[in-house]
Structure 1
Amino acid sequence: MRLFKDYLLNMCLALVLVPVSVAAFATEYFVASKDDYQAISSKLVAGDKIILKNGVWTDFEILLEGQGEADAPITLTAETKGQVILSGLSNLRLAGQHLAVSGLVFKNGYTPSSAVIEFRKNSNALAFHSRVTEVVIDNYNNPDKQESDYWVALYGQHNRLDHSHFVGKRNRGVTIAVRLNSEQSQQNYHQIDHNYFGYRPTFGSNGGETLRIGTSHYSLTDSYTLVENNYFEHTNGEVEIISIKSGKNTLRGNVFFEARGTLTLRHGNGNIVEQNIFLGNGVEHTGGIRVINKDQVIRNNYLQGLKGYRFGSGFTVLNGVPNSSINRYHQVENALIVNNSFIDVDHMHLAAGSDAERTAVPINSVMKDNLIINTNKQQPFSLFDDVSGIKLSGNIANTELPAALSYGVKRQNVALKKAENGLLYPVSGKLNAGAKRDLKVLSKQDTGASWYPKSPGFVTFDSGQTHQVAQGATALLAAIDQAGEGDVIVLANGQYDVSKLIKINKTLTIKAAQAGQATLTFERSALFEIQNGGSLKLEGLVISGANSPDSAGNSVVRTQKWGMVDNYRFVLLNSHILALDINHTFDFFVTGKGAFADEISLMGNTFDNVTGDILVLNTEIEDLGIYNAEYVTVKNNTFNNVQGAVVKLYRGGTDESTFGPLLHMADNTLNQVGYGKRNKNKSSLYLHGVQVANILQNTLVKSAPIVVEHTVGEPITVIKNNLFDATQAPTITELRVEGPHTAVIDDNKTPNTDKR
């Protein structure tokens, strides 16, 4: 008996001493409703797993809070990845330790708070050692475009955001923000890796960054965030794709594909930028790396086919402000720029931004062993100030460079060959200059959520089906209602008397089967209204305002008057617009406030008898850096008896974070344009703050002058080979820079300038 008792005692002691896994007490919850989730959310322990039932969850504000452990995190996931849709006013917050979220999709709504996903409950309860992976945020935008929010805000320390998919952010605010606004969020060692950043349309003002680490207020604080192996495709929000505003961050192995903007070391010191790939493919405003501040390391990066210039150039080293405040531009000091390849990079700017304020030139910096090859043999460098503080050595270029740089650059013809990684390297393996040959090029398919498609950012015109429409407004309206994205509606010859406002909320082309033989009239104050999701192309039509209401302020095309969050496109080709004169201020195209066009093009058209303006793109007059259109093209048109201006395009304020507006106006004829008594600018073309304007080979007869007002951003205005007959010469005014204007005005003819 005693032996048996001793045996039991030993067994009990053994059980006490055997470690018990935390997971043994964990619970798996299958949650089918918001109430079910609330019932268990406050009692989660390490190892617990919550599975959300497949379906659409509307207005679901999720708080995942608890204390997981490294080998037993608290997990929230979808029953099936990609089939749990969070819509309406939904968001996600994480607070605690070792939390993990995966498989969710946010779409068809917007966050009711400051972020869609937030690594905190509030300012006192943050997330640590937590992970969000394989999560999608797709066009989840506040309908007020100027209302700011983040899609992901990282707080706390040692958190990871990976293999997630972000596409279509259209309202103000950074897509992903790393916040350093408390000690618990500084020196955070976050990891942001293998994410897919898809199309972010041009925002049209500051506030369109894709990734920002820190803010100017905490810019002298170190973050230690790793941004690695992410894919940035068409992230065009503003000039800064990535904005680094803190120190000791590493950006490695990322790919920037046809992305308009730059990786900008805006604030903070001691950051490392290495092994990144920038592929511009000749797309306008594709940029590379912009350097500001101290101790920055830029090494072993590959940059090819970049067209950007100035602050958005392929490579930029900025001038600083002496004794700069924390939110301005600190002097570049001790920068190391080594073993980078610049292939067909149009512009490399050193001491950029030099002006009366930014006078602190780069100092104690090194630029060595870089490869600079332009197949067009155009040298890329522009020097805006003294660059002797950048010491050059071992660099190789195939073009003649400015004298101030030639001592440290060997001019040499270098043959290039595509390697297995798809990049171009010198055929000769003996050159030490340029990026390393073992550079890995990340595949887009290796980023984001593998189960979610990486679709194009917008629908191209004429990419859908074609519909033949018989004569009559009823048939036209029915065809528009039934058409799909990218469809083409072809109108039979005849008259179309439209009594309803045609609302365009899809990408659509309306064209005449035979140019000039389909005529549209309209009885409302406008014929077309472009709404969210809409883009419109008109071709070969005759549009008359003869049947329009006898009241002021009509238009042929307008955008939604307020609340457009989607960018749009409008194209008019080979059409005849006439009789916009039933009352005063009858415009052809009018933008609503807040609306933004990626493209507006008028080509091959004739306009007769218009009491208003042709393109009204000047509703953003608060001087906040906001404007209404990025690219405006007016080519090969004839304008007869237009009382207003052909284009009124306005961008006010002092912000320098955008590329546009950009105007190309060529080969047009203007007869008696701009002299209406309600045309306050007394101009045939009025441009304020336009960044690039090419006005070429136009004929202006008995018309008001071209009026250009330069503001910030070193605008480029070229007015060449125009005929100003009985028309005053253009006027150029510098509103923010002292001295003569910077426009190029050459080879214009001005007969009879004293006559009207």
Structure 2
Amino acid sequence: MSEIGKSRFYPLALLLVFLSFSPMSSAKLVKTMAQFDKAVETVKPGDEIVLANGVWRDVELVFKAKGLPEKRIELKAQTPGKVIITGQSNLSLSGEYFVVSGLVFKDGYTPTGEVISFRTSNNDLANNARVTNTVIDNFSHPERHLADLWVAIYGKNNRFDHNSLVNKRNRGVTLAVRLNSEGSEENNHLIEYNYFGPRQILGANGGETLRVGTSHFSTKYSNTLIQYNFFDRVNGEHEIISNKSSGNVYRGNVIFESQGTLTMRHGHHTTVEGNYIIGNRKPNTGGIRIINEYQTVKNNYLSGLTGHRFRGALVIMNGVPNSSPNRYNQAIEAIMENNIVVDSDYINFGAGSDEERTATPIDSSFRNNLIMGKGNLDPITLYDDVSGIAFEGNIINSEVNIPATIKDGFINSEYKVSENKQSLRVPEQSLVDKIAFGEIKLPISKAQTGANYYKKDESNIAFHSGKTIAVDAGTDTILAALDKSEPGDTLILENGGEYLLTKLASIKHPITIIAKSGKKPIIRSQKPSFLVIENGGALEIENLWFDGAESPDYKGNNIIRTSGYAMNINYSLSVRNIKVTDLDINGYFDFFKATPGTFADSIEIIDSEITNITGAVLVLDKETDDIGVYSVENLTIAGNTFTDIKAEIANVYRGGFDESTFGPMVTVTNNIFTNTGKGSTHKSASSMYFHGVQHLHISDSKWIDSAPLKLHLSNGEPITVIEDVLMKNTAKISANNNDYETRNIKYQ
């Protein structure tokens, strides 16, 4: 801009600023809570209350406003994205015809049960209100199992749009529509163009991303429209979307690489159409699950979904006769038509059939669906009588095996699938035309959703993504290096060096501690724990030697444990090619212990040698409330030798009968167990104990002079396979029932 242009511009800018906040203007700039409260008391139709840019800490904003349809009241940020609400804070809203926009709730948590609430009391609700262009990011209670709602929508005719909800880490629904009063029924809310960003696995019930209603009000009509939202890697629990009221429509949403399903858990007359659910072969990715009466599922695209049982691509469940509100109503007049299912593993009918769920689907139909896949050639499972479902005009590739009782409802075709410009797997257009699906394209992109100023590139920090730090041998040199490290860094220890820890080594972010190939450096500690994974931490160790000679003479020592406080950020632990010796200074000296309230996405011990331990190798049994809570999602034990271990190699516990979670998922392969699990004070009297594990595969391993492998198989139709193992001078496998597979088990 020229000097003349500048001279003309600045007076104009100053005039605009003056007009924006002068007495003649309806905008009130507020910088303190006192100013905010005073502005709310005097606000009139057409006014604006503007929160000043900056950090607003420990504020409970109560906004009561009554605008008019043509003169809405606005509560907004001075600059969208520049008003940061943090600490113990929340926002409650009531009145009508107002708009809230541009706020960011970040790195704090609500002191009550809701972050943004569309009510200020049980009787003061918000109607005809809008919240837009607002963010909630990592606004999670430090106690992962304490529940809260990030957004609770009450009242009628409210709109929630173009918002970003990212990184909910504690229990509780991300966004809930509440129908707990007459003033919130038949509400006609509109939820659209929102970005639901990554949500980690909760490892417990209560991790839904979106819920409309509750079981107590499931027969009430909500009439909420949920459309054009992007659900990105939301993995909280089995139900990504939980429909628990009647008359709702889910249209044009994208669910991307998310573990779980869109579930019609309660309520009737639900329509699910035009949604795209893309799994990209990620574990436990699921599709659409039907329960209850008069549900319609049509014109949806489902691709690359791997989930089984309740998590299939298309699932219709059995119900409970005369079901109570919180159980499963029979599926009546369910319609599943014109859906495309590509490269997905399971389609299930009568799922959940058991002694309680005996009411099979009736007066229902499965018509004109297009199914193409080669990954699983037996994708269709009939769990019960399906004579109440009419199968007609469905197209499926000829390699697939179809149950004889429904075979007439399918037309064989050649498998013809390619990738289009949007990287979607699409069947040949002539097949798509036969079911009148139309063009296969995303109804909404990630970029078109969420707050327009907030990034959508949330991802975990990878190991080895930072710098390398050489660590000299000596006392507490590892501690000094950890203090200097940053997320993703790698500490490289001297081959053959000796390292002593005189203090607890805290792992506060993702870090790798390794030695180059060659002689392992030896690490000892004078504290009860060598390494402690804190909230936000993750640990990878390789080619190291841990020895217990310097450990204090206490019971209950360990090499690695998680924080003694609850952690609301999931961690991971990778152990490769390590040596562990003489953890025997006293009893119950464990290698790794997970404390209650912590959760691992993955734990692996690979190619390692662990000898002479008075405790266990992996203690993962401290979540004992028996409500489906557990400590680790994926556990791998492969290529190791374990010798003279008094307690279990692994004790993994998931108690109770809750069906809302997926794991644990455990792989044990190519290991040798010698004299393991035979300590006299060892409660389970087993070499390995797995309780409630949902997917267990044990193979190519040897047990020598060891306590038996023990299993407790519970709910969820767990998949348990044990094959190609040798049990020498070891008792037979012990289990509470015979619902597991064995192949080539040898006892000597």
Q: TM-score, normalised by structure 1?
A: 0.94
Deviations 1:113-172 (A, max 9, x none): 110000000110000010111111111111111111000000000111111111111111
687, 690, 712: which one aligns with 2:690: 687
SS of residue in 1 equivalent to 2:42: coil
Deviations 1:64-123 (A, max 9, x none): 111111222111111111111101111011100011111111112100111000000011
The answer as to 2:559 corresponding to 1:556 is yes
SS of residue in 1 equivalent to 2:746: coil
596, 600, 617: which one aligns with 2:599: 596
1:343-362 alignment to 2 at 5 Å? 343-362=342-361
Q: How many angstroms does 1:377 deviate by?
A: 6.2
In 2: Cα distance, 1:746 partner to 1:257 partner: 37
Would the alpha carbon gap of residues 25 and 329 (structure 1) be closer, same or farther in structure 2, given more than 3 Å must change? Answer: farther
What is the match of residue 572 of structure 1?
A: 575
1:693-732 alignment to 2 at 5 Å? 693-732=696-735
What is the match of residue 17 of structure 1?
A: none
In 1: Cα distance, 2:26 partner to 2:453 partner: 27
What is the match of residue 412 of structure 1?
A: 413
Q: How many angstroms does 1:746 deviate by?
A: 1.6
The answer as to 2:459 corresponding to 1:475 is no
Q: How many angstroms does 1:449 deviate by?
A: 1.0
Aligned-residue Cα RMSD (Å) equals: 1.5
Q: How many angstroms does 1:436 deviate by?
A: 2.5
In 2: Cα distance, 1:455 partner to 1:730 partner: 47
In 2: Cα distance, 1:208 partner to 1:686 partner: 27
What is the match of residue 447 of structure 1?
A: 449
Q: How many angstroms does 1:234 deviate by?
A: 1.0
- 1:371–1:434 Cα contact (<8 Å) kept: no
- 2:372–2:417 Cα contact (<8 Å) kept: no
In 1: Cα distance, 2:94 partner to 2:25 partner: 19
SS of residue in 2 equivalent to 1:536: strand
SS of residue in 2 equivalent to 1:749: strand
SS of residue in 1 equivalent to 2:358: coil
- 1:425–1:437 Cα contact (<8 Å) kept: no
SS of residue in 2 equivalent to 1:122: coil
Moved more, 268-277 or 405-414: 405-414
Q: How many angstroms does 1:470 deviate by?
A: 2.1
The letter for the 2-side match of 1:479 is A
Q: Structure 2 unaligned runs (5+)? A: 1-22
620, 628, 633: which one aligns with 1:630: 633
The answer as to 2:402 corresponding to 1:401 is yes
In 1: Cα distance, 2:217 partner to 2:172 partner: 18
What is the match of residue 326 of structure 2?
A: 327
SS of residue in 2 equivalent to 1:188: coil
What is the match of residue 265 of structure 1?
A: 264
The answer as to 2:426 corresponding to 1:429 is no
In 2: Cα distance, 1:717 partner to 1:377 partner: 19
The answer as to 2:744 corresponding to 1:747 is yes
The letter for the 2-side match of 1:147 is L
The letter for the 1-side match of 2:417 is L
The letter for the 2-side match of 1:444 is K
What is the match of residue 16 of structure 1?
A: none
In 2: Cα distance, 1:544 partner to 1:247 partner: 61
In 1: Cα distance, 2:319 partner to 2:145 partner: 30
In 2: Cα distance, 1:78 partner to 1:30 partner: 9
- 1:207–1:238 Cα contact (<8 Å) kept: yes
In 1: Cα distance, 2:629 partner to 2:419 partner: 42
The letter for the 2-side match of 1:482 is K
1:283-298 alignment to 2 at 5 Å? 283-298=282-297
- 1:706–1:729 Cα contact (<8 Å) kept: yes
SS of residue in 2 equivalent to 1:645: coil
Q: How many angstroms does 1:490 deviate by?
A: 0.8
The letter for the 1-side match of 2:411 is K
What is the match of residue 179 of structure 1?
A: 178
- 1:515–1:541 Cα contact (<8 Å) kept: no
What is the match of residue 19 of structure 2?
A: none
Q: TM-score, normalised by structure 2?
A: 0.95
In 2: Cα distance, 1:25 partner to 1:407 partner: 75
1:203-214 alignment to 2 at 5 Å? 203-214=202-213
Deviations 1:224-253 (A, max 9, x none): 111111111110000000000011101011
What is the match of residue 245 of structure 2?
A: 246
What is the match of residue 612 of structure 2?
A: 609
1:453-468 alignment to 2 at 5 Å? 453-468=455-470
In 1: Cα distance, 2:548 partner to 2:665 partner: 30
Deviations 1:706-725 (A, max 9, x none): 00001111111111100101
470, 484, 487: which one aligns with 1:485: 487
- 1:674–1:682 Cα contact (<8 Å) kept: yes
What is the match of residue 665 of structure 1?
A: 668
- 1:516–1:576 Cα contact (<8 Å) kept: no
- 2:476–2:503 Cα contact (<8 Å) kept: no
In 2: Cα distance, 1:127 partner to 1:135 partner: 17
**Percent identity among equivalent residues?**
43
The answer as to 2:530 corresponding to 1:527 is yes
- 2:106–2:136 Cα contact (<8 Å) kept: yes
1:91-240 alignment to 2 at 5 Å? 91-240=90-239
What is the match of residue 8 of structure 2?
A: none
Deviations 1:427-470 (A, max 9, x none): 35264237322654321111111211113342122222222222
What is the match of residue 304 of structure 1?
A: 303
Q: How many angstroms does 1:688 deviate by?
A: 0.8
The answer as to 2:389 corresponding to 1:387 is no
Q: How many angstroms does 1:385 deviate by?
A: 0.3
In 2: Cα distance, 1:370 partner to 1:313 partner: 15
In 2: Cα distance, 1:405 partner to 1:612 partner: 54
Would the alpha carbon gap of residues 426 and 147 (structure 1) be closer, same or farther in structure 2, given more than 3 Å must change? Answer: closer
In 2: Cα distance, 1:550 partner to 1:727 partner: 32
In 1: Cα distance, 2:351 partner to 2:251 partner: 25
Q: How many angstroms does 1:318 deviate by?
A: 0.1
What is the match of residue 10 of structure 2?
A: none
The letter for the 1-side match of 2:524 is T
In 1: Cα distance, 2:393 partner to 2:25 partner: 61
Deviations 1:648-670 (A, max 9, x none): 00011111100001111110000
